[in-house]
């Protein structure tokens, strides 16, 4: 098992701990609120902390409401590939887009807002869903001398999964702190996400 002792060259990546993904939100992830105190305990241990924030314009192409006759959780094909349709969530400036009120954000040096282009969704903290358009996170971490990324947050089977996989793609070591994540888990998607992360060398710490 790799040494998980936290180093100055490590980054804690806190993914999408926002009201719409928590209890009472429009796309609530089961038991999501339980990870907030766990993340708050982790944050002070890291010299570099980055938050991601879903930040969709109204009428975003990933919203089921933007497509006549479509329901949330159906899939459609968009120019960049298959896209799951979601309930309207994390609309820019809304209460649902705000971070969980008990999430300690003061330790973060950077907030990456993603999904703000209306025609393309963005799960990963590193790339939009075309897997080509970057968020700029790679360059930021490289400039800070980061070598390893610890991933926590929501949802395990979507934004956390793709962020961890892309961290490896970008040349970083990656660790999933599974106890500080929760997933939507549609049709076994949590297990599929864990398998996909392991396949590319993400260390799973339960």
Distance, CA of 44 to CA of 10 (rounded, Å): 12
> Residue 132 class from Cβ within 10 Å (0-12 exposed, 13-18 middle, 19+ buried)?
exposed
Angle between helices 161-169 and 189-199 (to 10 degrees): 10
User: Which phi and psi angles does 176 have, rounded to 5°?
Assistant: -100, 120
Assess whether 11 carries a catalytic annotation.
no
Assess whether 181 carries a catalytic annotation.
no
Distance, CA of 126 to CA of 138 (rounded, Å): 7
* 145: three-class secondary structure by DSSP: coil
Q: How far is CA 20 from the centre of its chain?
A: 13
User: Which phi and psi angles does 168 have, rounded to 5°?
Assistant: -65, -45
The active-site residue out of 16, 20, 54, 166 is 16
The active-site residue out of 22, 90, 159, 181 is 159
Place of tokens 């209460």: 95
Peptide bond into 155 cis (omega under 30): yes
The active-site residue out of 10, 22, 54, 114 is 114
Assess whether 114 carries a catalytic annotation.
yes
Q: For residue 51, is it left (φ>0), alpha (ψ between -120 and 50) or beta?
A: beta
Active site residues: 16, 114, 159
């Amino acid at each position: 098992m790799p040494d998980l002792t936290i180093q100055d060259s490590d980054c804690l990546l806190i993914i999408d701990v926002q009201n719409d993904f928590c209890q009472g939100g429009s796309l609530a992830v089961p038991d999501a609120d339980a990870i907030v105190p766990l993340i708050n305990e982790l944050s002070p241990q890291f010299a570099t902390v980055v938050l991601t924030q879903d930040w969709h314009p109204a009428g975003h192409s990933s919203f089921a409401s933007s497509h006549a006759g479509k329901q949330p959780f159906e899939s459609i094909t968009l120019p960049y590939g298959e896209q799951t349709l979601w309930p309207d969530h994390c609309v820019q400036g809304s209460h649902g887009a705000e971070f969980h009120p008990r999430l300690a954000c003061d330790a973060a040096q950077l907030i990456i807002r993603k999904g703000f282009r209306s025609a393309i969704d963005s799960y990963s903290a590193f790339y939009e869903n075309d897997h080509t358009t970057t968020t700029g996170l790679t360059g930021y971490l490289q400039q800070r001398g980061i070598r390893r990324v610890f991933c926590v947050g929501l949802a395990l089977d979507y934004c956390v999964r793709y962020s961890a996989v892309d961290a490896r793609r970008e040349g970083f070591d990656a660790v999933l702190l599974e106890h500080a994540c929760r997933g939507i888990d549609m049709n076994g998607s949590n297990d599929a996400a864990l398998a996909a992360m392991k396949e590319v060398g993400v260390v799973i710490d339960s």
